[in-house]
């Protein structure tokens, strides 16, 4: 991969390689393990994504924060013992291309399919993630069916967002959609979503844009090629059971995830592609 003036490859103190971006419009950090962005800071603004202070960046373990890539399934697989949220978020991705202009930096990574366990994913396919970096962050996850038969999959871009106080935070733009929570529902979302308990809502027929209102400002989150999304906060008891997560960190984060889940799962015919897109920014 040919780097640009603003892009370098560095190592964490645990030996994990990451791509460091120090651009004119933003700073960012993207780990090759998981193809996972863990830092995005627009110039003269606060960080837009969150990582746990307890994260240890270990080989083969998912990173608690940033934007984990859940693929080719979201959540728990029906096969006992299969990894939660699929295989992409702990696999080692390969740096592919960097393009830098005055307006943006685009970095693409690909998942080497020869390293993927065919028990988990027997289909011939290609998976690429692109990060388009300006004062906004756009993540584009493209799956291509290279086989001669159709296959289906679910996925999510599991974005962790920061807040200084979850109890003073709410999400607008989900009104009118339906959600499933803890296996129950569907329920109708009638008003803005506030946080006073464990939240694990899987929305269907959701609008393409939501706003997260935090004490620091409003974060706009939009999606393309997705009519489903997931809203999550572990709250008190689950926080104590999570790996690489401090007991009180539920107060400083939430996840709002662009997804293709439930009835929104993707079926790809031979030679077709699908791109899941999320774009996040501080609202002006």
Q: Which of 103, 257, 269, 274 is catalytic?
A: 257
Cα–Cα distance for residue pair 99/105, rounded to 1 Å: 6
Which helix H or strand E contains 129, and what residues bound it?
strand 125-133
Dihedral sign for Cα atoms in the order 191, 138, 103, 134: positive
Neighbours of 183 (CB within 10 A): 7
Which residues does residue 219 pair with via DSSP β-bridges, in sequence order? 212, 282
Catalytic site includes residue 158: yes
Residue with tokens 């998942």: 111
Q: Where are the alpha helices (DSSP H) in the chain?
A: 235-239
Which residues does residue 233 pair with via DSSP β-bridges, in sequence order? 199
Q: Which of 123, 130, 158, 249 is catalytic?
A: 158
Catalytic site includes residue 257: yes
DSSP state of 177: -
Cβ atoms of 218 and 275 closer than 8 Å = no
- Largest interatomic CA distance in the chain: 51
Catalytic residues: 158, 257
């Amino acid at each position: 991969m040919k780097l640009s003036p603003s892009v370098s490859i560095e190592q964490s103190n645990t030996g994990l390689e990451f791509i460091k971006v120090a651009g004119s419009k933003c700073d960012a950090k993207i780990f090759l393990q998981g193809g996972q962005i863990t830092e995005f800071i627009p110039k003269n603004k606060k960080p837009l994504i969150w990582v746990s202070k307890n994260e240890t960046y270990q080989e083969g373990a998912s990173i608690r924060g940033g934007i984990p890539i859940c693929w080719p399934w979201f959540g728990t697989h029906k096969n006992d013992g299969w990894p939660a949220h699929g295989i992409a978020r702990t696999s080692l991705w390969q740096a592919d291309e960097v393009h830098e202009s005055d307006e943006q930096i685009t970095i693409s990574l690909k998942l080497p399919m020869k390293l993927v366990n065919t028990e988990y994913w027997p289909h011939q396919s290609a998976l690429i993630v692109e990060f388009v970096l300006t004062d906004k962050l756009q993540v584009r996850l493209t799956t291509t069916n290279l086989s001669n038969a159709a296959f289906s999959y679910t996925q999510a871009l599991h974005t962790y967002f920061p807040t200084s106080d979850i109890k003073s935070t709410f999400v607008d733009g989900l009104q009118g959609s339906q959600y499933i929570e803890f296996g129950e529902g569907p329920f109708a979302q009638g008003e803005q979503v506030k946080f006073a308990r464990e939240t694990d809502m899987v929305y269907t027929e959701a609008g393409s844009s939501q706003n997260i209102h935090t004490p620091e400002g409003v974060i706009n989150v939009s999606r393309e090629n997705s009519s489903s999304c997931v809203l999550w906060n572990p709250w008190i008891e689950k926080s104590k059971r999570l790996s690489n997560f401090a007991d009180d960190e539920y107060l400083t984060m939430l996840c709002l995830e662009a997804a293709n889940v439930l009835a929104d799962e993707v079926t790809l015919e031979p030679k077709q592609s699908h791109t899941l897109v999320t774009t996040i920014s501080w609202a002006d």
